[in-house]
Amino acid sequence: MTIQIEKMSAGDWERVREIYGEGIAAGNATLETSIPAWELWDASHMKECRLTAKEGREVIGWAALTPVSGRCVYAGVAEVSLYIGETFRGKGAGKLLLKELICSSEKHGIWTMQAGILKENAASIELHKKCGFKILGVHEKLGKLKGIWRDIVLMERRSSVVGID
């Protein structure tokens, strides 16, 4: 399988939306229970740091950053979203996406990337560790999903080239 990492375009949204829906349905990717409309998703994610993984012309995964705050002192801190299509998991697309997202983030002044990962999502936790993220701790019972309290593993990666002064 040859995987290409590309900038996400508005034309990728339908497939990005489907993959996000697969993550929601799996039950260990997010506490969200519905997919936002394009306009909401577009407004909340950094336009500079949106990527897709493609096999041929098919989007098989995506990654994007969301600013953690509108306050200027946190301008270099963003939260990671990364989703891989159900039939493409475990084939390396996630690692390629996350590594490229790290490069893109640093080009755009991000000094800290954060991830909040459901505790049961061992594959995502390991992927983030392999890409330089460290575990900060666990938010116990941070939110409910289908009436069950879920714990969130907090991870971060601090850039070695941005914000090091």
Report percent pLDDT > 90 for the chain: 94
Rounded CA separation 155/132 (Å):
10
Average pLDDT over residues 39-43: 94
* pLDDT exceeds cutoff 80 at 8: yes
pTM of the predicted protein model: 0.94
Average pLDDT over residues 85-105: 96
Mean pLDDT over all residues of the chain? 95
The CATH class for the domain spanning 3-158 reads alpha beta
* Residue 54 confidence (pLDDT): 97
* CA distance between the termini of the chain: 41
